[in-house]
Structure 1
Amino acid sequence: MNDPLDKATSKAPPVTGEGCLSRYDPDALGPEDGTDFPDAARLWRQIQDSQRDDGDQQA
């Protein structure tokens, strides 16, 4: 019988480790996997500022 997953249009990248320690293999990831996020630092600052502002309002 054919494997139904063979028809999938995308596949998960290879992983390293097992169980709780399994992670996507960084050597196997590339731009086509969506690993490039140039605005990550800006988003992180916005989140931190937002949380800081929320904390000021609660005080």
Structure 2
Amino acid sequence: MSDPLDKATSKAPVTLGEGCLSRYDPDDLDAEDGTEFPGAAELWEREQGKAEDDKA
């Protein structure tokens, strides 16, 4: 085992492009990739309210 990454249990999806234009290949992604965050909108609104309160 010469490569320490060989023992990793997860691997990043295939990417397209190079450098600043690098992005994950949408055709390679499936339901197991990414995250599900059902409370994201509520958290965003709460954090935006805190930011506005700090400005006042």
> How would you bin the TM-score normalised by the shorter chain?
0.5 to 0.7
Tell me by how many angstroms 1:4 deviates: 3.5
TM-score normalised by L of structure 1:
0.65
Q: Where does residue 45 of structure 2 map in the other structure?
A: 45
CA-atom RMSD in angstroms: 2.1
Runs of 4+ in 1 over 6 A off after TM superposition: none
Alignment of 1:6 onto 2:6: yes
Q: Which has the larger helix fraction? A: 1
Unaligned runs of 5+ in 2: none
Quote the Cα distance in structure 1 between the aligned partners of 2:39 and 2:30.
17
The number of residues matched between the two structures is 56
Partner AA of 2:45 in structure 1? R
In structure 1, stretches of 5+ residues that fail to align are: none
